[in-house]
Structure 1
Amino acid sequence: MSERIRRAPRQAEAERNDRALLTAAREVFTLDGTHASVAAIAARAGVGIGSLYRRYRTKEELFQHLLSLSLDQWIEAAERGLAHEDPWEGLVHYITTSIELSSGSLGALANTMALTDEMLARSNQSDELTGALVARAHAAGVLRAEVTYIDIALLIEQLGKSPLVEQLTRQGRTDLVDAAANARARIIAIALSGLRPAPERLPGHPPGEELFHERWVQREAPAGDR
């Protein structure tokens, strides 16, 4: 038996474990935020903690990989949205797909880990594609004129979390989860309809990029807090 044949089952198992770990990490992080423990992630994935540490040396490394994958998924969703013939449907595809990816839960990772140059480049690419989706929708007259790509990004972050679903899941109330998911779908549809052009102006002023991006910049704590 060749080494390649012997290695194949082990490689397949490692890939399955990695997929399970990433799924578990997202689920545990959604429920527990940055306090999510490595032990809880491994247990949810059904693998030993040793398997997790063989793949990811630290929790930060695991979350970095999770965020990198999410960036790739957001970019793919935006590219598919731009490929859609209808500007509104393309924008809706991007928003709903990003919400389904539960990207909102990852906002709590801001300022908790270092961002690599590659991650920053992918983030910039994602921003540019989102901006292109918004510009196209504006040009077609199907999106409120005052809505910016930062508004869209923050909307996705807010709707990507569902406190009600998370609470019921944590409580083990499986009898109510379907009803909560249905209510969430309605709320998302209501929010999307609010993006359509309307005579009423939105309150306040458009959020600046610093609100969305600056919180990811790691800064040294004041001397008194060290």
Structure 2
Amino acid sequence: MARRAPRYAEAERNDRALLEAAKKVLAVDGAHTSVATIAARAGVGIASLYRRYRTKEELFQHLCALSLGQWIQAVEEGLAHDDPWEGLVHYITAAIEFSGGALGPLAGTIPVTDEMAEKFTRSEELTRSLIARAHEAGVLRPDATAVDVSLLIEQLGKSSLVEQFEVQGRTDLVDEASNARRRIIAIAVDGLRAGHGPLPGRPPGPDLLAERW
């Protein structure tokens, strides 16, 4: 077992690198991006990649499960906060920062595995609990739903100015772009506070995000 541990650690590092690379590449190329492009961005050899994952589909399914795991961790951390508002803000900010909705372009292009379905259900349950707690505390506007919050996270988590400058090699502007992003997140999150006027239209259906898969 001791001899296998380093290999597991390397596999985990590669998984993290692949997930981050996939998020960035999918934001630009969509679901038709190549495994070679993702592997190159992650610094992972394509041969070793195909030794672990037989197909592009299998790789994407695994990355989706990993991403859902990040969602679950973020909402669990939010629920661990004593303050309902701070817990909600932590969840939203964390999910935006790890680009929670970045794998959205894969929706409808790959079969949903049992692991993906189980983690999605768990994430949805926890998110509803977090939203309900904020509603009960009177800190979240009453017409904001869990789907509204998830859509907000997905939209703000897409290719950011920070990533655009990184691609351009403009490291001199990354800090300024990061500061601007934090301000935009704060502005958006403040719109969820109780006390604002009613939101337009009707609340999105609870299955809106799941249906695309």
Task: Provide the TM-score with structure 1 as the length reference.
Answer: 0.85
Q: Separation in 2 of the partners of 1:123 and 1:45?
A: 25
Say whether the 8 Å CA contact 1:21–1:52 is kept in structure 2: no
Is the alpha carbon distance of 1:198 and 1:115 closer, same or farther for their aligned partners in structure 2, counting shifts above 3 Å?
A: same
- Aligned-residue offset at 1:19: 3.7
CA distance in 2, matches of 1:19, 1:158: 22
Q: Which moved more, 1:5-14 or 1:158-167?
A: 5-14
Match of 2:57 in 1: 60
1:157 paired with 2:154, answer yes
Deviation of the 1:30 alpha carbon: 3.3
The answer to whether the Cα contact below 8 Å between 2:19 and 2:67 also exists between their aligned partners in 1 is no
Could you give the per-residue CA deviations for residues 72-92 of structure 1, whole angstroms, max 9, x where no partner exists? 221122122112111111111
**CA distance in 2: counterparts of 1:199 and 1:7, whole angstroms:** 55
Kept in 1: contact 2:26–2:105 (CA 8 A):
no
Matched, 1:177 2:174: yes
Q: How many residues align?
A: 213
Partner of 2:164: 167
**Contiguous gaps of at least 5 residues in structure 1:** 217-226
Q: Based on CA coordinates, which of the two structures has the bigger radius of gyration?
A: 1
Q: 1:45 aligned to 2:48? A: no
Residues 46/122 of structure 1: CA separation in 2 closer, same or farther (3 Å cut) = closer
Secondary structure of 1:209 counterpart: coil
Give me the whole-angstrom Cα distance separating, in 1, the residues matched to 2:79 and 2:4.
41
Deviation of residue 7 (structure 1)? 5.1
Large movers: runs of 4+ above 6 Å: none
Following superposition, the deviation at residue 15 of structure 1 comes to: 4.4
Measure how far apart 1:146 and its partner are: 0.3
Asked whether the equivalents of residues 78 and 133 of structure 1 are also in contact (C-alpha less than 8 Å), the reply is: yes
The aligned residue for residue 200 of structure 2 is 203
**1:81 alignment partner in structure 2:** 78
Q: What is the rounded CA distance, in whole Å, between the counterparts of 1:6 and 1:85 in structure 2? A: 42
TM-score by length of 2: 0.90
Partner of 2:105: 108
CA drift at 1:163:
4.0
Q: Does 1:194 align with 2:191?
A: yes
Question: Matches of 1:200 and 1:18 in 2, distance apart?
Answer: 44
Q: State the one-letter code of the partner of 1:104.
A: G
Question: Do 2:79 and 2:87's aligned partners in 1 also have CA atoms closer than 8 Å?
Answer: yes
Q: Offset at 1:13?
A: 4.2
- Render the CA deviation track for 1:60-101: whole Å, top value 9, x for unaligned: 211111111111221122122112111111111111111111
RMSD: 2.0
Question: Residues 5 and 163 of structure 1: is their aligned pair in 2 closer, same or farther, counting only changes over 3 Å?
Answer: closer
In 1, are the aligned partners of 2:27 and 2:159 still within 8 Å (CA)?
Answer: no
SS in 2 for 1:204: coil
